[in-house]
Amino acid sequence: MTSKRIDPSASADSAELTDPLPVNRPGVVGESIGPLPAAEGRVDAVRSGEWWAIAVPSLRGVFSQARQIDEVPAAAREAIALMLDVDPAKVGPIDVHVQDPGGAGALA
C-alpha cells in the first residue's frame, strides 16, 4: 500500500504530493499498529459526577468518558483508534489507572 500526504505549505491551487509515508507509521489507514507501547496503553480514569473521565497521557488530546468503570477500556480503545486512524481491534491492551478525584494525579 502506497500512501501519500499533501504538503501543508503548498497553496490550494498547487497542492503537491510529497514522499510516501513510512510503512510502519501509525495512523495510515489499513495498517496494523501492533501492540501499543506500555505508556500508550495506560489510561487514567477519574470519577467526575456520574461519569468516568478518561485520558491517555501518552497521546496528547486523547480523552473520552464512560458511565461505568468497566466501560473505560472500550471507550479508551475507541478514542485511541480514532486518534491513530486505525481499527479499534488493532489497539493493544489497555491498562486502566483509577485516579483519586482530589489527588495530584486527577485530570484537569
What integer best gives the mean pLDDT of the chain?
73
pLDDT tens readout for residues 7-49: 444 444 444 434 333 333 444 444 444 555 545 589 999 999 9
pLDDT band at 105 (very low <50, low <70, confident <90, very high): low
Statement: residue 78 has pLDDT above 90: yes
Top CATH class, 38-99 = alpha beta
Please give the pLDDT value at position 103.
63
Please give the pLDDT value at position 41.
80
User: For residue 20, how many other CB atoms are within 10 A of its CB?
Assistant: 13
The domain ranges of the chain are: 38-99
Please give the pLDDT value at position 13.
46
Please give the pLDDT value at position 30.
44
pLDDT band at 57 (very low <50, low <70, confident <90, very high): very high
Q: Which residues contact 46 (CB under 8 A, 6 or more apart)?
A: 52, 53, 98, 99, 100, 101, 106, 107
Query: Nearest 10 degrees: CA dihedral of 21, 23, 25, 29?
Result: 90
Please give the pLDDT value at position 36.
53
- On whether the CB atoms of residues 33 and 26 are closer than 8 A, the answer is yes
Cα Rg of the chain, angstroms = 17
